[in-house]
Amino acid sequence: MLRLRWLDNDLPGEPFPSVEEAMDEPNGLLAVGGDLSLTRLVTAYRNGIFPWYGHGQPILWWSPDPRAVFLPGDLHISRRLRRRLRRKEYTVTLDTAFQAVIRGCAGPRPDQEGTWITPEMLAAYCELHRHGYAHSAEVWRDGELVGGIYGIALHGAFIGESMFSRASDASKVALTSLTALLWRWGFQLFDCQMANPHLHRLGTREIPREEYLERLRAALQMPHGETLWEWDPAFDPVAEHRRLEGGA
């Protein structure tokens, strides 16, 4: 029987165990404890590991197999969503309301009890944002924040953490817009971490953890580039996705 590694709260630079040591059930559970310091979080993401735990639990670290990802050209955009994007019913921005997006993701949802985004998680990811690792895409309607998504950017990889919606298709607008811009900037991997039926409908694929780590390592070799994390109102995400699919 595998024993989980307990991480030391006072050693943020402590190496994680190899992801091959992750449990099969629950899928991907690798280690327990530690902290949510900038150093530990960045180290985790660079090694294909992420934290996910609930209120009252110690920090749990995961590296599931298989891994859910989007690659360029994967995202499925329904006809209704294409029409909504073309009509520009919503306004998109980047990094203008990062904390508000996390709070939106932490809000109550009809299909689940509670939230895994604890106050400690919120503070830690705001710190990542201040240091240029965490980013958000916001969706607005009439000046009100109605949807968004946030995650971690490392060279050519983006690790999506969560998204929310308070209006029809608002989270899909955030995801579609952000992925299109990431592909335009040269990103090669959008990590969704764990699959669910909603992501499957949007076109996510599941790949073996070994392949995911190979793709992550390749993405981490890409230069940072001149990504400014500013939204261009003239940018057409539908056209970008169609280009990647081999369309117009």
Neighbouring CB atoms inside 10 A of 139's CB total 31
Instruction: Find out whether 176 and 244 touch, Cβ atoms under 8 Å.
Output: no
Name the fold adopted by 68-245. Aminopeptidase (3.40.630)
Omega of the bond leading into 58 within 30 degrees of 0 (cis): no
Scanning the chain, the segments in alpha helix (DSSP H) are 38-46, 79-87, 98-106, 119-130, 170-185, 197-201, 209-220, 237-245
- Distance in angstroms (rounded) separating the CA atoms of residues 148 and 170: 7
Per domain, the residue ranges of the chain are: 5-64, 68-245
Per-residue pLDDT tens listing for the chain (248 residues): 467 899 999 999 999 999 999 999 999 999 999 999 999 999 999 999 999 998 889 999 999 999 999 999 999 999 999 999 999 999 999 999 999 999 999 986 655 554 679 999 999 999 999 999 999 999 999 999 999 999 999 999 999 999 999 999 999 999 999 999 999 999 999 999 998 998 999 999 999 999 999 999 999 999 866 678 999 999 999 999 999 987 44
- Distance in angstroms (rounded) separating the CA atoms of residues 122 and 161: 12
Per-residue pLDDT, 135: 97
- Distance in angstroms (rounded) separating the CA atoms of residues 77 and 179: 12
Per-residue pLDDT, 116: 79
Per-residue pLDDT, 137: 98
The CATH number fitting domain 5-64, selected from 3.40.50.300, 2.130.10.10, 3.40.50.12500, 3.30.70.3550: 3.30.70.3550
Per-residue pLDDT, 247: 47
The two three-digit tokens of residue 194, written as one number: 């764990």
